[in-house]
A and B are shown apart, each in its own frame.
Chain A
Amino acid sequence: MRKLAAVIAILLILPGPAGAAVGCDLNDPDRDVARLFPESTGYKTDYISIKSRGGEPLLRRVEQRLGDKFQGLYETSDVPYTVYSIIKGKELIGYIHGVNQKGVYGGIQVFLALESDGRIRLLYFQKLTSRHAKDLRAAEFEQQFKGLDLKDFSSYDVVAGRAPEGSRLATIKNPAPAAEKDFRAALRGVKKNLILMDEFFFRKAK
């Protein structure tokens, strides 16, 4: 009995495998893909990093398009981005891609379900620690991003958190004014996500 207890204890106490830089994966890809793309019949997973796709020059280009430097200890060129290519029969119908974004109280996991032409089908915060997380994760807020694409975000200033007057993005209001920093972080995450997808997939296809 003592041995059994010891084994159970050690399974819980001892470590899991050590890894490289942390990416942003769906918690349950089978379930999440079916939820975000109900018509899908399958998906393919690719792990892509800035380092493997173009290194320093690509990082500089992404930063320039984002209008901000990659920050902190973890927004580095070796972060593996997980891209789920969604398939219906033999046809590619879209992508799901997530990025980690620094929020006030923790990492925000910003997932986008994208149509095959790059338009946003759905925004999904897989993880968001904030005093106002409920408002930011509300379906009404997330739905506002439907149909937007990189063009809508290209003139969005991620540092000042400003969208040009009259732009579609300017109509998206912060549902929790007290959580302005998290709102801006979320938008920065969306823009970063779209730029990376453009660099990894759409730009190449054009």
Chain B
Amino acid sequence: MKIYLIAYKNLLRKKTRTVLTVLGIALSSWVLASLLGFNKGYEGALNHDIDNMGFQVLLTAKGCPYEAATLMLKGGTGLRYLKESMVQGVAEDHDVAAVTPMLMQAIFDPNKGESGGMSGYLGVDPATFPQSKGFLEFKKGGWFKDPDAREAVMGYEAAELEQRDTGDKLLIPEKNVEITVVGILKRTGTQDDGTIFLPFRTVQEVFGRKGLLTGMGITVRKDADIDKFTERLYDLPDVQVVSMAQVKSTIMSLLSSAKVMVFSIALIAIIIAMVGVINTILMSVFERFQELGILKSMGAMPSDVFKLVWAETMFLCLAGSSLGVLLALGLARTTELLVRRLLPYAPNGGLVQIDWRLAVGTVAAVTGAGLISGLYPAWRAARVRPLDSIRNEAE
């Protein structure tokens, strides 16, 4: 116990050096904990987003992902469509539990902003869409029942932006069609928050797209082989199949190369911090050369001196890594904001998830690495000979 107290007091003798070393370790630990937290949080958030899509496979007309950009830029004038008659064929596949047809349309609204903007509407089937999105809850009202109804359900943010309540009217620009709001969804943290849902037949009629769809969401049976099923879908003419599992693995594989780079940077930061630890402790050993010699001449064993110096290393690393983890916890939301700005796509929910296991693991890893770095200075200290130290003093 006394050795630890002496080690602690030794560190306080050079306060500035100790503080700087602790800060160096803290920064490395902060980076490490944040990265590990991001690694955990991103995958969880992505899974949550994909699960909340409500279906596992999205079928669109070939080239539709590119056309989706066109939808936003040109108001749907360049869109490609699927025939509504395909729904029945897909629904008959033995792996399919449900199919929900969708028709997205956008229109230019000259009264948005200085030079106009787009307004988008998602036509959905009131008979099947609510089941595929069973997690959606209403703040007010409910789903439209009639597939031809001039009614709308609004995501919370869309309703907030348009200041709509149930019973209020919406006006589809250019078409001059009035729609009554019958439901407002609770926040979901997904794309649904900003969506205006209309019955798909209403969208077909208002936008003159009878018998056409822009996509269908497919819920597959639990025991289905999604890969084989998506291959079968490609047999259909001119379709693009987007499997959510495929999307997830693609995003994760794209992210993994970025993660390797970032972890390399974290590793370099830890190595730099450890070199700092070696430097600090070694300097402290050289400064106390005579003191260590006297300790040994008074009967201290090499193992005692080793323990003393190693304990100093341990204190530095424990303090630094704990501070780093606290920083990571305290600044997790700031880190998340930064990550969101940097990444082209970031899912909703907590992107940086630091739990107690991760915190303890980071402290243990950094302290462990620090203790390994402290081996050499401790060994040098243990090898100090009393006579050498006295001779050194005489010189």
Contacts and interface: CB of A to CB of B under 8 A. Distances in A.
Interface of A: 2-3, 5-19, 21-22, 27-28, 31-32, 35, 72-75, 100-108, 125-131, 133-134, 137
A15 B65 contact: no
Given A9-B60, A9-B247, A102-B163, A15 B347 contact: yes
Given A5-B66, A9-B247, A10-B345, 16 more contacts: A7-B250, A9-B64, A11-B344, A12-B65, A14-B345, A15-B192, A15-B193, A18-B188, A27-B114, A73-B159, A73-B160, A105-B178, A125-B111, A129-B111, A129-B173, A133-B111
B171 A15 contact: no
B386 interface: no
A128 B111 contact: yes
Given A6-B246, A13-B53, A107 B111 contact: no
A129 B110 CA distance: 9
Interface in B21-65: 49-50, 53, 58, 60, 64-65
Contact of A15 (B49, B68, B111, B117): B49
Nearest to A75: B163
B313 to A, nearest CB: 43
A131 B171 contact: yes
Given A17-B340, A17-B346, A7 B170 contact: no
A16 B344 CA distance: 11
B242 A129 contact: no
Contacts of A130: 111, 171
Nearest to A104: B169
Contacts of B344: 11
Contacts of B49: 14-15
A4 to B, nearest CB: 9
B113 A8 contact: no
Contacts of A18: 157, 187-190, 193, 348
Contacts of A27: 113-114, 117
A105 B170 contact: yes
B80 to A, nearest CB: 13
Interface in B241-266: 241-243, 246-247, 250-251, 254
Closest 8 CB pairs of A and B: A105-B171, A9-B65, A102-B163, A18-B189, A107-B163, A15-B191, A133-B111, A8-B65
Contacts of A105: 169-171, 178
Q: Which of B69, B163, B184 has the most CB of A within 10 A?
A: B163
A128 B117 CA distance: 12
A5 B111 contact: no
A125 B113 CA distance: 8
Contacts of B113: 27-28, 126-127
A129 B348 contact: no
8 contacts: A5-B240, A10-B242, A14-B345, A15-B190, A18-B193, A19-B157, A73-B139, A107-B162
A10 B247 contact: yes
A98 to B, nearest CB: 12
Best-buried of B111, B161, B345 by chain A (most CB within 10 Å): B111
A129 B109 contact: yes
Interface in B161-204: 161-165, 169-171, 173, 176, 178, 184, 187-194
B112 interface: yes
A16 B164 contact: no
Nearest to B351: A17
B250 A3 contact: yes
A129 B117 CA distance: 12
Given A6-B242, A9-B65, A22 B171 contact: no
A64 B27 CA distance: 52
B66 A7 contact: no
Contacts of B240: 5, 9
Nearest to A3: B250
A72 B60 contact: no
A49 to B, nearest CB: 14
A65 B162 CA distance: 25
A73 B184 contact: yes
A129 B171 contact: yes
Interface string B131-164: 0000000011000000000000000010111111
A75 B114 CA distance: 25
Contacts of A127: 111-113, 117
A178 B53 CA distance: 43
Nearest to B246: A6
